[in-house]
Chains A and B, each alone.
Chain A
Amino acid sequence: MKVLVPVKRVIDYNVKVRVKADGSGVDLANVKMSMNPFDEISVEAAIRMKEAGVASEVVVVSIGDAKSMETLRTALAMGADRGIMIEAPEATEIEPLAVAKILKAVVDEEQPQLVIAGKQAIDNDMNATGQMLAALLGWGQATFASALEIADGKAQVTREVDGGLQKIEVALPAIVTTDLRLNEPRYASLPNIMKAKKKPVAEKTAADYGVDTTPRLKVVATEEPAGREAGIKVGSVGELVEKLKERALV
């Protein structure tokens, strides 16, 4: 079974984002970029399936600017077999709908049985690409996975839902999106980073797939959120209770 995993290059989760003074967007100049953490979880899930003999090949695909190649190489260093680099405008500007359309074209070509995607990218926080891809393919979807098992042409998935957990079964081929509890992604070892440089990567552009990536949403403004007034430190539990009583909170 072939598994396809899309990976996105995003601002590192440790970086505090600043809005540009002119309100035109956020400042991405000279900030650390990394693989979207949920995509690391997806890559890890796919590699574990390969190690367990469930998957035969793990193909990773990144859609973004030329630097997304680094992200792809990271996925290859973790253990993916081969990559597809699809150059498109800045990764953060390309919307999930356009990404899903490109991925659909990739799926049509590659014919994987399973696509494992992160539940959300931590830049635009959309939480949409996997569901949109499933819709375009007419496939079943299992989002927010915290456990995943493949048997008898089906995926059994435990999902993180609002009140706890839900277990569902999806017929393959299907899309699974990953949540935080699915696994702890490995770090790529130095020898594997070296090896990854020799793994095959096909280089494409969004235009090769005939997908129009023009955003549907026009960004009118980007602004700082309302800040909070700095508070005070209280010296004791008693003082804290007093303050809360003053404001009728307890």
Chain B
Amino acid sequence: MSVLLLAEVAGGALALDATAKSASAASALGPVTALVCGPAEAAATAAGIAGIDKVLHCADDSVANGLAENLSALILQLAGGVTHIVAPATNSGKNVLPRVAALLDAMVITDVTKVLDANTFKRPIYAGNAIQTVQSQDAVKVLSIRTAAFEAAATGNAAPVETVTLSDAPALSAHLEDMVVKSDRPELSSAKVVVSGGRGVGSEADFALISGLADKLGAAVGASRAAVDSGFAANDLQVGQTGKVVAPDLYVAVGISGAIQHLAGMKDSKVIVAINKDEDAPIFQVADYGLVADLFDAVPELTGTL
């Protein structure tokens, strides 16, 4: 058995948390070769992750932006003899892995939360309201890892790095532009503390209450779909079934009702705090500490007290 792991590269650097968590899932399946598409520093960082036996580094422009057609061609080029192809279940992993699976005539297994053996995996369905155990009969198993469900592998390793290039890029698509907001806050998926705001926050201007509390706590900022749809927060901050899945030590939900789709993204947090003026809001059913209050009173007071 052997595993090809697609490392996560974001903004020109290795996304260490997502890659190290996927590496710990992957290393249970056999020796791991990590593919890093990006700058040499990203490959060097990946080589430091425990459980990664070898790094393949591709610096080609054709795969630098994660274009699925080119990236899946590269993965296929390198996948000879591997039994498992693994990537974190990020948007970039979800973009490319099903394409790879179909090219191998395999059924992709997305959002794996547990590896039981080489063929058997757990994954959530129906917004996490059921957990399915599935067994794959495909020759090559293609899986995306729900990183929030795994511990990060340690660092301090020194795996060898080899250079690879994509021999034949399909060139069906072209990258035009990234519109990425740089932030000094911790990254949402890997943060120890997350403060999320919902429709109750009321406006983009008042969303500063959420970011103010987050900054006081050294936390990442999250949002409900309603807050994103209303333009209070950026799309990549959406937590939930169809957004990001987080499991921080502390999750603070402010002005969020607790719809199934939101809970799907945060109910595995260690401690949940909810601030909502409606005492019957479903969010209180999953909250360790619930505060029934107007957020416009409670949040400034909380930020001031901390």
Contact = CB atoms under 8 A, between A and B. Distances in A.
Contact of B108 (A132, A174, A234, A241): A132
A231 B249 contact: no
Contact of B124 (A138, A162, A225, A250): A225
B277 interface: no
Contacts of A38: 242
A234 B291 contact: yes
Contacts of A135: 72, 98-103
B111 interface: yes
B128 interface: yes
Most buried by A among B72, B101, B228, B298: B101
Nearest to B69: A140
Contact of B290 (A159, A215, A225, A232): A232
Given A180-B229, A234-B290, A216 B99 contact: no
Nearest to A18: B129
B69 A97 contact: no
A122 B126 contact: yes
A225 B131 contact: yes
B94 A169 contact: no
Interface in A116-147: 119-120, 122-136, 138-144, 146
Interface stretch (A9-17, A50-58, A83-91, A106-114): A9-17
Nearest to A38: B242
A241 B302 contact: yes
A164 B233 CA distance: 11
A234 B289 contact: yes
Nearest to B123: A125
B289 A240 contact: yes
Nearest to B136: A217
Q: Which DSSP category, helix, strand, loop or mixed, fits chain B's interface?
A: mixed
Contacts of A64: none
A127 B130 contact: no
B68 A249 contact: no
A223 B279 CA distance: 30
A123 B125 contact: yes
Contacts of B127: 17, 122, 125
B179 interface: yes
Nearest to A235: B291
Contact of A237 (B108, B133, B193, B305): B305
Given A132-B99, A234-B290, A217 B236 contact: no
Contact of B285 (A218, A223, A230): A230
Given A143-B94, A217-B109, A164 B126 contact: no
A216 B267 contact: no
Contact of A16 (B170, B225, B260): B260
B92 A124 contact: no
Interface residues of B, number: 92
A182 to B, nearest CB: 11
Interface in B177-201: 177-181, 189, 193
A124 to B, nearest CB: 5
B107 A95 contact: yes
B157 interface: no
B2 interface: no
Given A216-B138, A217-B107, A131 B68 contact: yes
A26 to B, nearest CB: 5
Contacts of A125: 110-111, 124-127, 241
A191 interface: no
A207 interface: no
Contacts of A194: none
A247 B95 contact: no
Interface in A1-23: 11, 13, 16-19
Contact of B10 (A18, A162, A238): A162
Interface of B: 10-11, 65-69, 72, 90-92, 94-103, 105-111, 120, 124-138, 170, 172-181, 189, 193, 217, 225, 228-229, 234-236, 238, 241-242, 244, 249-250, 260-261, 267, 271-273, 279, 284-293, 298, 301-302, 305-306
21 contacts: A17-B126, A95-B107, A125-B110, A125-B241, A127-B94, A131-B95, A136-B102, A138-B170, A141-B68, A159-B91, A164-B234, A165-B179, A169-B176, A180-B229, A216-B137, A222-B125, A225-B130, A231-B287, A232-B288, A233-B291, A240-B291
Given A126-B98, A162-B244, A241-B305, 5 more contacts: A17-B130, A123-B125, A131-B96, A231-B286, A234-B289
